[in-house]
Structure 1
Amino acid sequence: MLSVYVDLALGLVVSFLLLSLLVSGLNEAFVRLLSIRSKFLWAYLRDTMDGADEKSGSWLPAKVLDVFRVLPFLRDPRPRHSDRPAPTEPGKVPESTTGDSMIKLLYQRVQEIDHAKRGRTSISNIPPARFAVAVMELASAENGDVEEFLRKLQQIDSPLYGHLKGVWETAQHDLDRFRQGVETWFDGEMQRLSSLYRRYVKWVVAVLGVVVTLLFTMDGLEYAKTLLRDNAFRASVTAVAEAGPDAYEELKARCTGGDPVPCVTETLSQPALVTMLDQALVSVSIPAQGDPTVHWNGGLWWDRINTLSHWPGFLLTYVALLFGAPFWWDVFRRITGIKPRR
């Protein structure tokens, strides 16, 4: 009896794991296609180094809907890609505000690790140590005078001035401690930005979870019932094989048609997961002979969507997908006893 529940748990976990991987894959595809990570980073850098845009406000909107609407499609905060190596002499901070001048100066210090993506930079991560070195190089353009560098940042009204001023005072005007302080500060900012990015990604995963659940019309409760029915059918087939000719007549009566062998073969070759996926909007069948075929199940799919009794199962599947693929992989590993590599 215990094996029945183990089979049920494994079947549910595997199905939720596969669908969660699909959601994660779709999310990653959108992120890479729209360069969301890179845009997120450079929007933050523009806000931190050059300040909010006078016409459009902050480069990194505060509201979730504005982030989804602005960053992917309306505004691209990334600098233009350049194939040239970093200049030997770092550029100086201008005496007056000139748009995105600080972003250009920073990009010049890191452009050697860049490659183009539709004419823009593809850099999505700047190590804190590299950022600290870039700041020191910009300060060296002012003859190594950090005070003069901070004065010009204040003159162009750069938000970076307040952060670096605090680090400079904490370092007690020591250059080496100042560099370490900038590195520590930027590392903390990147952690905060990563937390903000993950919060927005959760909304994307939530939307994709709804899409995947309804696209496959994956009813978790119906799937569990199908798993139990399959297990019972396999048990009855085993009992027939062990009981002899008398039990064969009972199996023959359960299967429509004269010969139960094709019935048993077809049922055993159609696991519960395959049966559930066949009810998706588009399904693929692989016959014993011939090429795979694609089927459009619009009518069946719409009937399942309109059947209210399926919606509790849809809700169960959707909630399960919100836990994510790492969670279900960990559950699967614990059930099967697979040990992680060290």
Structure 2
Amino acid sequence: MISVYADLAIGLVLAFLLLSLLVSGINEAFVRMLGIRSKFLWAYLRDTLDGGSEEGKSWIPTKVADVFAKLPFSKDDPRPEHSPDPAPPVVAPVPVDPATVLAADEPVPKIDMTERIYQRLQEIDHPKGKRTSISDIPPERFSGAVMELVSAEEDGVEGLLTKLEAINSPLAGHLRGVWEGAQRDLEKFRRGVENWFDGEMQRLSNLYRRYVKWVVFALGVTLTLLFGMDALEYGKTLLRDNAFRAGVAAIAGGSEGGLTALEEKCAGAKPYDCVTESLSSPAMVKVFDHAIVSITIPPGGEDPSLNWNGALWWDRVSSPGHWPGFILTVVALLFGAPFWWDVLRRLTGFRNRS
């Protein structure tokens, strides 16, 4: 009896794992193709280093639709243009005279600090178009870029902070707090910038994952309906499949205890052909048989064929009796592939090689 429930658990977990991998794969392909993760990072950097856009609006999207619909196709790409050259060997100081800027009544000059930071990160970029593909910046790399900007100023950190404050860069307030917290010690300042940026990246990652959850939910609902994956019905199918195999094994061992299950399964068919077909098509193989388009593999070694199941699929999807199973499948997919892989490892006793 324990083996029956173990088979049921493994079958369900494996089905959830396969669907979760499909959801993750589609989401990752969409994100990589449109460069969403990279655009999200550089939108944050634009806000942090230069402030809002020319219209005074924030670069960071505030809604899920903005992240996955507006940001990928917006004409205002926040990413700097890709440069195949290594970082310039000489770091030029920020071209601003704070005294002149503060004394003048003219608008504050726009200095592209994002571009200046990118120049110090060019070595970790990869050519994937006209814009940078950097989607992750190590904190130690960012702090190193800031320290290179500091070394270019005559007055060091104070000189850089004064110029950033003169051009109203939001970065000035963050670095000023780190500088004062480091008690004006240069090494502590470098570590402070590294820790600050690491915390900002964690906050940004949490914000991005919150948006991604909605996309995963939408993909989970879509795939569950397209495949007609009723988790409750699939669990019953696994139990029936296990009972049928146990009956066949009992008959093979000389017992007639499984004859009833065999007669019900093979009613009107040749027992030998029925048993062969059933054993070669376990419940796991049939998990996606109710999809809007299914694949049939003939037993004679012929080429697989695609079958349109539009009418049967619609009857299944529109039947309220299947909705609880659909809801259970969608909820299971929200846990993600790593969760179901870990559960499968625990159930099967599989351990990763060290």
Task: State the TM-score, normalizing by the size of structure 2.
Answer: 0.90
Counterparts in 2 of 1:150 and 1:251: CA distance versus 1, 3 Å: closer
Conserved in 1, the CA contact under 8 Å of 2:153 and 2:160?
A: yes
Q: In 1, distance between residues paired with 2:260 and 2:63?
A: 67
The AA in structure 1 aligned to 2:308 is W
Conserved in 2, the CA contact under 8 Å of 1:240 and 1:247?
A: yes
Matched, 1:323 2:308: no
Q: In 1, distance between residues paired with 2:86 and 2:329?
A: 51
Q: In 1, distance between residues paired with 2:72 and 2:141?
A: 27
Q: In 1, distance between residues paired with 2:304 and 2:68?
A: 38
Q: Aligned runs of 1:112-127 on 2, under 5 Å?
A: 112-127=123-138
Identity %: 64
Structure 2 alignment gaps of length 5 or more: 102-107
Counterparts in 2 of 1:24 and 1:175: CA distance versus 1, 3 Å: same
Equivalent position SS for 1:284: strand
Q: Could you tell me which residue of structure 1 aligns to residue 35 of structure 2? A: 35
Q: Aligned runs of 1:16-165 on 2, under 5 Å?
A: 16-55=16-55, 57-74=57-74, 75-95=76-96, 97=108, 99=110, 101-165=112-176
Conserved in 1, the CA contact under 8 Å of 2:246 and 2:258?
A: no
Q: In 1, distance between residues paired with 2:39 and 2:127?
A: 14
Partner deviation per Cα, 1:286-309 (whole Å, 9 max, x = no partner): 223122222222222111111111
Conserved in 1, the CA contact under 8 Å of 2:244 and 2:258?
A: no
Conserved in 2, the CA contact under 8 Å of 1:50 and 1:103?
A: yes
Structure 1 alignment gaps of length 5 or more: none
Instruction: Identify the match of residue 168 of structure 1 among 179, 185, 191.
Output: 179
How many pairs were matched up? Answer: 342
Q: Could you tell me which residue of structure 2 aligns to residue 265 of structure 1? A: 276
Q: In 1, distance between residues paired with 2:128 and 2:257?
A: 71
What RMSD over aligned residues (CA atoms) do the two structures have, in Å?
2.2
The AA in structure 1 aligned to 2:246 is A
Q: In 2, distance between residues paired with 1:172 and 1:2?
A: 65
Matched, 1:202 2:220: no
Matched, 1:183 2:194: yes
CA positional deviation for 1:143: 2.0
CA positional deviation for 1:336: 1.2
Instruction: Identify the match of residue 289 of structure 2 among 271, 278, 297.
Output: 278
Equivalent position SS for 1:310: helix
Larger mean Cα displacement after TM superposition, 60-69 or 4-13? 60-69
The AA in structure 2 aligned to 1:51 is G
The AA in structure 1 aligned to 2:36 is I
The AA in structure 2 aligned to 1:92 is P
The AA in structure 1 aligned to 2:317 is I
Equivalent position SS for 2:86: coil
Q: In 1, distance between residues paired with 2:297 and 2:254?
A: 34
Task: State the TM-score, normalizing by the size of structure 1.
Answer: 0.93
Matched, 1:312 2:341: no
